[in-house]
Amino acid sequence: MTLRRWIADEVTGDTAALVGEHAAHLARVLRAEVGQEFDIATGDEVRRGTITTISYDRVEFALGGKPYHTRRSKPSAVPKITLALAIFKFDRMEWAIEKCTEIGVARIIPVVARRTDAHLAAAAAKRHERWQRIVRQAAEQSRRSAPPEIAVPVRLKDLAGDGVLPANATRVVLAESLVESEEDARLGEILQSQSSDGEVVLAVGPEGGWADGELSWFYETGWVGASLGATILRAETAAIIATALALEALR
Q: What is the 3-state secondary structure (H, E, C) of 110-153?
A: EEECCCCCHHHHHHHHHHHHHHHHHHHHHHHHCCCCCCCEECCC
Q: What is the mean pLDDT of residues 70-77?
A: 56
Cβ-based burial of 75 (10 A; exposed 0-12, middle 13-18, buried ≥19): exposed
CA distance 85 to 44: 27
Query: In this structure, which CATH number among 3.40.640.10, 2.60.40.10, 3.20.20.30, 2.40.240.20 belongs to the domain 5-71?
Result: 2.40.240.20
Mean pLDDT for 98-103 is: 97
Region 139-161: mean pLDDT is 92
What mean pLDDT is predicted for residues 192-196? 58
Domain boundaries, the chain: 5-71, 80-250
How confident is the model over 104-136, as pLDDT tens digits? Answer: 999 999 999 999 999 999 999 999 999 999 999
Question: Does residue 216 carry a pLDDT above 80?
Answer: yes
Determine the Cα–Cα distance for residues 52 and 87; give it in Å rounded to an integer.
42
Report the run of H or E that residue 242 belongs to, with start and end.
helix 235-250
Cβ atoms of residues 154 and 112 within 8 Å: yes
CB-count exposure of residue 139 (10 Å: 0-12, 13-18, 19+)? buried
Q: How far apart are CA 38 and CA 61, in angstroms?
A: 9
Percent helix, strand and coil across the chain, each to the nearest 5 = 35, 25, 40
Lowest pLDDT segment from 15-29, 76-90, 187-201: 187-201
Segment (H or E) for 63: strand 58-63
Q: Can you give the C-alpha Rg of the chain in angstroms? A: 20
Global pTM? 0.84
CATH tag, 80-250: 3.40.1280.10
